[in-house]
Amino acid sequence: MIPKSFVQELLGRADIVDVIESHLPLKRAGTNLVACCPFHNEKTPSFTVSPSKQFYHCFGCGAHGSAIGFLMEYSGYGYVEAIKELASRVGMQVPEIAARVDTGHSAGVGSDVEQLTDVLQRAAQFYKAELKRSERAIAYLKSRGLTGDIAARFHLGYAPAGWQNLNAAFDNYQARSLVDAGLVIQGEDGKRYDRFRDRIMFPIVSQRGQVIGFGGRVLDKSEPKYLNSPETPVFEKGRELYGLPQARRPIRDAGRVLVVEGYMDVVALAQFEVGYVCAALGTATTPWHVQKLLRQTDEIVFCFDGDTAGRKAAWRALENSVAHLQDGKQIKFLFLPEQDDPDSFVRREGKAAFETLIDAAMPLSEFALKHLTATVDMGSAEGRAKFLQDAKPLVKQISAPIFALMLRKRIAELAGITQTELEQRLELKTPRRGNEVPARVARKGSDPYAKLLERVLAEPTLIEELRAVSLPVPANPSAEASALFDLLEESIELDHAPTFAGAIELLRGRGHEASLQKIMKDVADLQRLSTAELRVEVQGGIQNLLAEAEKLRMTRAAQGISSPGELSAEARALLKRAPGLEKPVKTG
């Protein structure tokens, strides 16, 4: 584990302009520098680098981050690798703190995130060492055509047969963190045993380069063929993709990403130099997967078996994709011949034949129309009416204006009606880009915690303004509220306020990427204000939240309802001192 204070100091010494300019040509544009974005195809530069904020942001695709984030996204480094690379550039030595494992049954709701990732990393090292000792496991991988280089690239390991092998990897097999990390199962009788036994182990790595879970595959025909880590505080299956850290550079080079269904498919294709591949983790494709991949490339190809189950899975992927389509982006579907998976096909036919299949993948619109017309009689009025009703929920989700227009025209043609009739009968609105809504309108009436988050990101020295009071914690916090409280928590250890880039790094790996991308344009707009102006807005936001909390407390008191969330004495004192309380300050 690398200390947060070191990361902050590193970001203070490194120059993001030097880092990015070593990979991209930058041009001066006022106080900033610009380039065509390396993360999506564009002709007009929308990729901006701010020397003062040590931050990059693309106004086209939303990509953003610090110098560390750029090295991870552009060069495919893991989090630790990116820090070491950046440190070597500025002559700093990276300190590391030894992994911590709790000694037993500590109180609290669970092990902390850093402790769990330490435990998982140690387990990955154990499994990797065990693979080298197992002739049977090595023979199995060789029989699947894998080399030692590929096994090392994906950090493959082996969980030996037996019930408590992890006892050799950890000083205390009874540690609570082993259960919390999903490595050990504790029965009702209190006895413990390893979750993974006699399986090839595939470590699942986060965007920060940390091991967050495992997939384990049997070496024979026993069931289940694949066993995944359970969901934990550091691992949520619907948000992660296996092999994405290793695939980042190949994805950028190829201009597309292939999404397959299994771990072995990913490593087998990488063995045949098809490196732009990742896999869902035993779940259906989620909207989060689609958003994450569309930030990486302009073309996603989903690969499924050609049987009924494969086509059902493909339709679920389509349903979760349409809302995130953008004009200029492509989503396609590849259905393999029956009895084949990517692993078997590429080993039998080779890379060229497999990539020929990828090139011929079916566009989303074609697959959607084939699916919708397959089970109805398009020669009858009843069949066409059913077709339109089935198409309605799909079409209503599409916000990409040009694609929506083209698809509506084609659906109207197939149904034998005009586009105007289609839009009237299905109550479809004219699609409009989300970024056509003025920022001031979009922010109107928005979450007050989101407003505070935007302002302290625009000027991180104002974090101290929030730390000076006990902010009321909402019963059902929004994503932005959660990010705000996480930022306050992560900054506790620092002896000074983080920089803008440093604040973003504090939130890395906490699951806030989508929230940050959503508000980053507003944050950029707010940076035009002075620190004094932003301080007034932050103080006003605090006053409003405290006033609302006090009002709620008094209402509950009048109704005889106890209020466990009552304001602290210091917060009430601040509230009484706050000027203009009779008219809460407007912050947006």
SS (H, E, C) 269-305: HHHCCCCCEEECCCCCCCHHHHHHHHCCCCEEEEEEE
Name every residue whose Cβ is closer than 8 Å to that of residue 249 and which is 6 or more positions away in sequence: 75, 76, 275
Q: What DSSP assignment string belongs to 8-63?
A: HHHHHHS-HHHHHHTTS--EEETTEEEE--TTS--SS--EEEETTTTEEEETTT--
In the predicted structure, residue 561 carries a pLDDT above the cut 80: no
Return mean pLDDT, the chain.
84
Q: How far apart are CA 338 and CA 349, in angstroms?
A: 15
pLDDT band at 505 (very low <50, low <70, confident <90, very high): confident
In the predicted structure, residue 310 carries a pLDDT above the cut 90: no
Give percent of the chain above pLDDT 90: 41
Give domain 244-369's CATH architecture: 3-Layer(aba) Sandwich (3.40)
- What is residue 259's predicted lDDT score, i.e. its pLDDT? 96
pLDDT band at 490 (very low <50, low <70, confident <90, very high): confident
Q: What is the pLDDT of residues 410-464, one digit of tens each?
A: 999 999 999 999 988 888 766 544 333 333 333 444 688 989 999 989 888 888 8
In the predicted structure, residue 110 carries a pLDDT above the cut 50: no
Q: The domain 113-235 belongs to what CATH superfamily?
A: DNA primase, catalytic core, N-terminal domain (3.90.980.10)
pLDDT band at 401 (very low <50, low <70, confident <90, very high): confident
Question: The sheet that has 47-50: what strands, in order across it?
Answer: 27-29, 32-35, 47-50, 55-58, 64-65
* Angular region, 485: left φ>0, alpha ψ -120 to 50, beta rest: alpha
Distance, CA of 264 to chain centre: 22
Phi and psi at residue 33, to the nearest 5°: -125, 150
Mean pLDDT of the 87-107 span: 64
Q: What is the pLDDT of residues 254-304, one digit of tens each?
A: 989 999 988 999 999 999 999 999 998 877 888 888 888 887 788 999 999
First to last CA, the chain: 39
Q: 224: cis peptide before it, omega within 30°? A: yes
Domain boundaries, the chain: 4-90, 113-235, 244-369, 375-435, 439-577
Q: How far apart are CA 562 and CA 564, in angstroms?
A: 6
Name every residue whose Cβ is closer than 8 Å to that of residue 61 and which is 6 or more positions away in sequence: 37, 39, 40, 294, 295
Mean pLDDT of the 8-31 span: 91
- What is residue 222's predicted lDDT score, i.e. its pLDDT? 86
Mean pLDDT of the 85-97 span: 84
Q: What is the pLDDT of residues 363-374, one digit of tens each?
A: 999 999 999 999
Phi and psi at residue 225, to the nearest 5°: -60, -45
- What is residue 559's predicted lDDT score, i.e. its pLDDT? 65
pLDDT band at 544 (very low <50, low <70, confident <90, very high): confident
Mean pLDDT of the 496-518 span: 80
In the predicted structure, residue 529 carries a pLDDT above the cut 70: yes
- What is residue 301's predicted lDDT score, i.e. its pLDDT? 97
- What is residue 1's predicted lDDT score, i.e. its pLDDT? 65
How open is the CA angle 334-336-339, to the nearest 5 degrees?
160
pLDDT band at 96 (very low <50, low <70, confident <90, very high): low
Q: What is the pLDDT of residues 212-230, one digit of tens each?
A: 999 999 998 888 899 999 9
- What is residue 109's predicted lDDT score, i.e. its pLDDT? 32
Mean pLDDT of the 323-333 span: 89
pLDDT band at 550 (very low <50, low <70, confident <90, very high): confident
Q: How far apart are CA 523 and CA 515, in angstroms?
A: 12
193, HSE (Cβ side, Cα atoms, 13 Å): 10
Question: Quick one: DSSP state of residue 198?
Answer: S
Show the DSSP H helices in 59-159 as ranges. Answer: 67-75, 79-90, 113-133, 135-143, 148-153
Burial of 66 (0-12, 13-18, 19+ CB in 10 A): buried
Identify residue 115 by its one-letter amino acid code.
Q
- What is residue 221's predicted lDDT score, i.e. its pLDDT? 85
- What is residue 549's predicted lDDT score, i.e. its pLDDT? 80
Phi and psi at residue 57, to the nearest 5°: -150, 135
Does the domain made of 4-90 have the CATH classification 3.20.20.70?
A: no
CB 466 within 8 A of CB 539: no
